[in-house]
Chains A and B, each alone.
Chain A
Amino acid sequence: MKSAKKLFLLVAVAAMAAGWFTLNESTRRYIVHLAKQVPSLPYRYFV
Chain B
Amino acid sequence: MSDYDAIVVGAGLGGLTAASQLQNKGFKTLLLDHCDQVGGCCGSMQIGDYKFDTGPSVVELLFVIDEVFTNIGRKREDYIEWIDIDPIYGFVDNAGKHFSYPTSIEGTREVIAKFSEEDARAWDRFADLGANALEKAFNIVMTQPMTTLSAAARVMVKNPAMMKYMAPYMLKSFQQVLTGFFKDDSVVSSMCLQSYFIGLPPCLAPGYIAFLAYSEHDGIVYPKGGMDMIPKGICKAFEEDGGKVQLNSTVSKILTEGKKVTGVELEDGTRISSSMVITNVNAKVVYEEMLGKDRIPGWAYKGVKSYEVSIPAPMIMLGVDKKPDLECHHTFCHSSIDNMNSIWFDNFKENKLLGDKNFMLICTPSLSDDSLAPKGHHTLNLVSFSPYEPVEGDWDKGLREKYLEDILDLMKRKFGLDLTSNLKVAEVIDPKRFERRFLHPRGAVYGLQQDLCHSAMFRPGMKSRIYDGLYLTGASTHLGGGVAPTIGSGIAATDLIMKDRG
Q: Which residues of A contact B (CB under 8 A)?
A: 26-27, 29-30, 33-34, 37-38, 40-41, 43-47
Contacts and interface: CB of A to CB of B under 8 A. Distances in A.
A33 B176 contact: no
The 8 A-B residue pairs with the shortest CB-CB distance in the complex, in nearest-first order: A43-B303, A40-B306, A37-B453, A30-B173, A26-B203, A47-B303, A44-B458, A43-B302
A27 B173 contact: yes
A43 B341 CA distance: 29
Interface string B271-303: 000000000000100010000000000011011
Contacts of B307: 44
A47 B176 contact: no
Nearest to A25: B203
B167 to A, nearest CB: 15
Contact of B299 (A29, A38, A41, A43): A43
Contacts of B173: 26-27, 29-30
A44 B461 CA distance: 9
Contacts of B459: 44
A9 B463 CA distance: 43
Given A26-B173, A45-B458, A47-B460, A40 B303 contact: yes
B258 to A, nearest CB: 19
B494 interface: no
B452 A34 contact: yes
B402 interface: no
B213 interface: no
B461 A47 contact: yes
A34 B176 CA distance: 15
A26 B453 contact: no
Contact of A33 (B299, B451, B465): B451
A30 B465 contact: no
A39 B146 CA distance: 21
Interface in B359-413: none
Nearest to A36: B453
27 contacts: A26-B173, A26-B175, A26-B202, A26-B203, A27-B176, A27-B203, A29-B203, A29-B204, A30-B175, A30-B203, A34-B451, A37-B306, A37-B453, A37-B454, A38-B453, A40-B302, A40-B306, A41-B458, A44-B303, A44-B307, A44-B454, A46-B300, A46-B303, A46-B465, A47-B300, A47-B304, A47-B460
A37 B282 CA distance: 20
B306 A44 contact: yes
A37 B305 CA distance: 12
B303 A30 contact: no
B429 interface: no
Most B CB atoms within 10 A — which of A30, A34, A46? A30
Contacts of B287: 47
Contacts of B461: 47
A31 to B, nearest CB: 8
Most A CB atoms within 10 A — which of B172, B302, B459, B465? B302
Nearest to B341: A26
Contacts of B300: 43, 46-47
Most B CB atoms within 10 A — which of A26, A34, A47? A47
Interface string B430-463: 0000000000000000000001111001111100
Contacts of B175: 26, 30
A30 to B, nearest CB: 4
Contacts of B465: 46-47
A40 B452 CA distance: 12
B461 to A, nearest CB: 6
Contact of B176 (A26, A37, A40, A41): A26
B443 to A, nearest CB: 21
Nearest to A37: B453
Contacts of A47: 283, 287, 300, 303-304, 460-461, 465
Contacts of B460: 47
